[in-house]
Amino acid sequence: MAMNQDENILFKISEQCDQKDYESAKILLVPYLKQNPNHGEANFLMVRVLTQDYTLEKVDEDFEQYFQVALIHANEKQKKEMIRQYNRYIENLRLSERIEQLAPRSLKKTLLSNFFVFLLSFCIMIGIILCFYEQITSGLILIGVAILLGVMQYLLHHTKK
């Protein structure tokens, strides 16, 4: 009878994880794990809850301890699946950290690029207008500045680290 009750609790927690109700699942799971700290399936469910099915980028608690206990008590097929999910999760975390590191540089480069395009367009327009109003020298100087900005834009856009 007690085993059936345990299975019922774990099934309920698993359903809550499937429905993405992680807070309710954690409320049920914490007392269960205090009574059964070495239960493999319960520890794996705690990993699911803490990482929100391997989608959470920053985990507040140490889920690896639960993962290790779950691995110890799992059969070979379950171990392979758990390790596959865990490795994919860790790889996604590393990838998101790498993207965060690259984003600020990319944003600065884009802003600088947009500024150069604006200056280029502005210099060409004013240069042409000045040429129409018989101020050829000033117009040609601005068009020259526009060409220089175009070269700088090209170098900025096409150079690599």
Segment 68-80, tens digit of pLDDT: 888 787 788 888 8
Q: Would you list the domain boundaries of the chain? A: 2-74, 104-158
- Between CA 3 and CA 89 the distance in angstroms is 32
Res. 1: pLDDT tops 60:
no
Single pTM value for the model? 0.52
Angle between helices 40-51 and 2-18 (to 10 degrees): 20
| Tokens 């994880």 belong to residue | 17
Tell me how crowded residue 51 is: count the other CB atoms within 10 A of its CB: 21
Segment 82-127, tens digit of pLDDT: 888 888 877 877 777 776 676 666 666 677 778 878 888 888 889 8
Token pair listed for 113: 């690029």
Q: What pLDDT is attached to residue 3?
A: 55
Segment 25-69, tens digit of pLDDT: 888 888 888 888 888 888 888 887 877 766 666 666 677 777 788
Q: What pLDDT is attached to residue 57?
A: 62
Res. 143: pLDDT tops 80:
yes
